[in-house]
Amino acid sequence: MARREKKPVHKVVMTEGKRNIIQQLLQEYDIETAEDIQDALKDLLGGTIKEMMEAEMDDHLGYQKSE
């Protein structure tokens, strides 16, 4: 059976702006390990994910949390 060549889902273009953002994150969070990356992502995305889940629940229930 012949192996198929894996194709990337999408090609990421590394722009100068993206490089600058990555450098700032590396400095801000003092990233040296994979665990440091996980901690930074939790810090950056944790609040956003919580807000999204609360908005979804509000929509599902038909009213906001404080009503």
How many CA atoms lie within 13 Å of 17's alpha carbon, on the beta-carbon side? 1
Q: pTM for this structure?
A: 0.52
Token pair for residue 25?
A: 């994150």
Q: Is the pLDDT of residue 1 over 80?
A: no
**What tens digit of pLDDT does each residue of 34-45 get?**
999 999 999 989
pLDDT (average), residues 12-40: 93
Q: Which amino acid is at 35?
A: E
Q: Is the pLDDT of residue 2 over 70?
A: no
Task: Say which residue, 49 or 66, is predicted with more confidence.
Answer: 49
